[in-house]
A = this chain, B = another copy of it.
Amino acid sequence: MLIHTIEEVREQIKNWKKQGLSIGLVPTMGALHDGHLSLIKKSVEKCDKTVVSVFVNPIQFGPSEDFDKYPRTLEADEKLCSDAGVDIIFAPSPKEMYGEGHLLSNDFLTYVIPPFFYVNKLCGKSRVGHFDGVCTVVNKLFNIVQPDFAFFGEKDRQQLIILKKMVKDLNIPVTIIPCPIVREESGLALSSRNKYLDENSKKDALALNKILFNIKLCYDKGITDVRALSETAYSFLNSNHSLEYLEFRDKDTLEDKEKADDDTIVFIAVKVGGVRLIDNIALG
């Protein structure tokens, strides 16, 4: 069932709650692919009812980012959800979520702001304000849908860690379920932004997962020196790659690792043919 208004969702949720049914939420920006589908399947399996939100959230895009051209494929998304057994697709307009006047600055809108230590690194460093927008909209979706479980992909690992921190800090009565990255056969992590890649860039994009899997291989062989592990990356990079970061950080606190260990996540961001791609791998 496709729903566009908060009020209608609330009504449906109220009914389900009365019946004591468990509710799963899969927050997305649409342009659904097999990565999303894995989250949706997990929710359908685990929960009595599943809500998928499809909302390209304006407040998590910077002024120079791709809000306008971000792929919107609601019809296809709806079909994928129905086929997967989703109960509600919640696709509100920006006006429905943020009201008249689009007063989206923090001058006129209450924000949920994750801790500075969690956002001043990795993607947060180049995407200033991005995680403020993410936390705020996820908080709103949690309040609207009141799910028991919410499903997030490990592809956006910094986001996942920040949302888990938000849930803990604000005592939000939702359990976050992390879901593993889904990859093409080539190893490329699925992302809605892969649509921006042309044939050549798609080949160059493989460097991300090759670098990560190679680091994991070296770690498994006993190398823990972060500098040595980082240096293995360079053989995979060429002049088409612009490396934004390659970092080793703790899986919960995002603290810098001096020596790699089983709690380490390796994060990478690279621009390929004008498209910014991210990926990560857990060493443990």
Q: Which residues of A approach B to under 8 Å, CB–CB? A: 6, 10, 18, 20, 106-117, 135-136, 139-140, 143-144, 146, 165-166, 169-173
Cα A173 to Cα B111 with chains together (Å):
17
Given contacts A143-B170, A171-B144, contact A107 B111 (CB under 8 A): no
Ordered by A's residue number, 26 sampled pairs between the chains whose C-beta atoms are within 8 Å are A6-B171, A10-B173, A107-B115, A107-B116, A108-B115, A108-B117, A109-B169, A110-B112, A110-B113, A110-B114, A110-B115, A110-B166, A110-B169, A111-B112, A111-B113, A112-B112, A112-B113, A112-B170, A113-B113, A139-B170, A140-B170, A143-B170, A143-B171, A143-B172, A143-B173, A144-B171
Q: Which residues of B contact A112 (CB under 8 A)?
A: 110-113, 170
A155 CA to B219 CA, complexed, in Å: 61
Copies of this chain assembled into the complex: 2
With A110-B170, A140-B171 already in contact, 9 other A-B pairs whose C-beta atoms are closer than 8 Å: A107-B116, A108-B117, A110-B135, A111-B112, A112-B113, A140-B170, A143-B170, A143-B172, A144-B171
Residue of B nearest to A144 (CB): B171
Residue in A10, A115, A170, A173 with the greatest tally of chain B CB atoms within 10 Å? A170
Contact between B113 and A117, CB atoms less than 8 A apart = no
Q: How far is the CB of A167 from chain B (nearest CB, A)?
A: 9
Please give the distance in Å from A244's CB to the nearest CB on chain B.
Answer: 23
User: With A and B bound together, what is the CA distance between A68 and B277 in angstroms?
Assistant: 50
Q: Which of A114, A116, A169 counts the most chain B CB atoms within 10 A?
A: A169
Q: Select from chain B the residue with minimum beta-carbon distance to A139.
A: B170
List B contacts of A139 (CB < 8 A). 170
A106 to B10, CA, bound (A): 32
Query: In the complex, are the beta carbons of A106 and B116 less than 8 A apart?
Result: yes
Chain B: which residue is nearest A145 at the CB level? B171
Which of B107, B111, B140, B143 is within 8 Å of A117, CB to CB?
A: B107
Residue of B nearest to A20 (CB): B18
Q: Contacts of A172 on B, CB cut-off 8 Å? A: 143
Chain B residues whose C-beta falls within 8 Å of the C-beta of A116 in the assembled complex: 106-107
